Amino acid sequence: MSTENRFFYEPSQGHGLPHNPLNAIIGPRPIGWISSRNAQGQRNLAPYSFFNCFNYDPPIIGFASTAWKDSVANIVETGEFVWNLTTRTLAEQMNLTSAPLPRGTDEFEFAGLTAIAGNIVAADRVAESPVNFECKLTQCIQLTDASGNKIDTWLVLGEVVAVHIEKHLLSAEGIYQTALAEPVLRAGGPSAYYGISDEQRFDLHRPTL
């Protein structure tokens, strides 16, 4: 196959484009809107665009943080955190919680959000969010490059020990309605986000042999 129509680059040498295409290609992505508390009980709430689910049973989710930020420090200290679903109505408030505020500032208060206690973990949930996962830390891994050199990025993995879902997001048959929640997904560039709708849905069934 001809490569004449392919743009090629080696990340270690730079891409030469106006913006790194990596997170636009791998996107849109769910947002890891992570709430935590430190050992002194101070709250923190921050969004992470490198986030996903990695296991069914037990359910394990995770997010990656470039640099050792307050969320990572708090979770390592306490072993607990909460993931909160970002919806279209909460997008602007989610964005506010990404502001580089002084350490110890309560992002719940800054963004005008209501903190509500978890049932199992001490970290607070975003009351306005229709879905919350209470999590216990399973691993915090410092990433390395292909040569084994440690880089300043940390992968935080947690087991979901409690789930909160607003009932209107469940059909009469008990099926979670993804599009109805209007989740916000992070795309590429400095400001791009996407939503989803049932009009964009299509179904595929796994082949059987």
pLDDT digits (tens, 9 = 90+) for 108-127: 999 999 999 999 999 999 99
8 Å CB contact between 155 and 141:
yes
CB-based burial label for 60 (10 Å; 0-12, 13-18, 19+): middle
The predicted model scores a pTM of: 0.94
In the block, tokens 């990433």 appear at: 143
pLDDT for residue 86? 98
Share of the chain above pLDDT 70, in %: 99
CB-based burial label for 30 (10 Å; 0-12, 13-18, 19+): buried
8 Å CB contact between 135 and 81:
yes
Tens of pLDDT along 29-51? 999 999 999 999 999 999 999 99
Above 80 in pLDDT, residue 3?
no
- In angstroms, rounded to a whole number, what is the distance separating the alpha carbons of residues 46 and 108? 10
pLDDT for residue 24? 86
- In angstroms, rounded to a whole number, what is the distance separating the alpha carbons of residues 111 and 44? 11
What b/e readout covers 102-135, taking b as 16+ CB neighbours within 10 angstroms? eeeeebbeebebebbebeebebbbbeebbbbbbb
- In angstroms, rounded to a whole number, what is the distance separating the alpha carbons of residues 31 and 10? 27
CA atoms lying within 13 Å on the CB side of residue 32: 22
pLDDT band at 2 (very low <50, low <70, confident <90, very high): low
Above 90 in pLDDT, residue 1?
no
Tens of pLDDT along 124-149? 999 999 999 999 999 999 999 999 99
